[in-house]
Amino acid sequence: MTITLAPDLNIEPGCYVDGHHGQYGVSHLIHQFCVGAEELAAANEWEESGGDDDMELIIALADEVENALNEALPEGLWAGWIDGEFFISAAEDEDE
């Protein structure tokens, strides 16, 4: 699937998905950064199922979103999960 990120990403370092989202953090990530119909439909279906749908599918989609974000972010920023939370951080923070 080709990930369609929101065209107006004006991202600053910070926590974009915090731990209180639990298993729905992956769909929250998709809703925050994607505008593609397929991605949003998959996230909505995941939420409506109560998280009972194929976990591997939604995690693979979240990984694709993470990769697309890392390609789209300005130099010096990176995106990724740390302890169940999704951050965009300055490159010097990547090894923490």
User: How wide is the angle at C-alpha 95 spanned by C-alphas 89 and 60, nearest 5°?
Assistant: 70
Closest listed residue to residue 51, CA positions, set 33, 35, 28: 28
10-27: pLDDT as tens digits: 788 999 999 988 888 888
Task: Report yes or no on 9 lying in a domain.
Answer: no
Q: Is residue 32, in this structure, part of any structural domain at all?
A: yes
**pLDDT of 83:** 92
Q: Residue 93's pLDDT is what? A: 56
Dihedral angle sign, alpha carbons of residues 18, 69, 55, 37: positive
How many domains does the chain divide into?
A: 1
Q: What pLDDT does residue 82 have?
A: 93
Q: Say what the pTM is.
A: 0.84
- Per-residue pLDDT tens over the stretch 37-92: 988 998 888 888 876 667 788 888 999 999 999 999 989 999 999 998 999 999 87
Task: Give the residue ranges of DSSP H helices in the chain.
Answer: 25-33, 37-48, 55-72
Domain range holding 48?
A: 14-93
Q: How far apart are CA 91 and CA 93, in angstroms?
A: 5
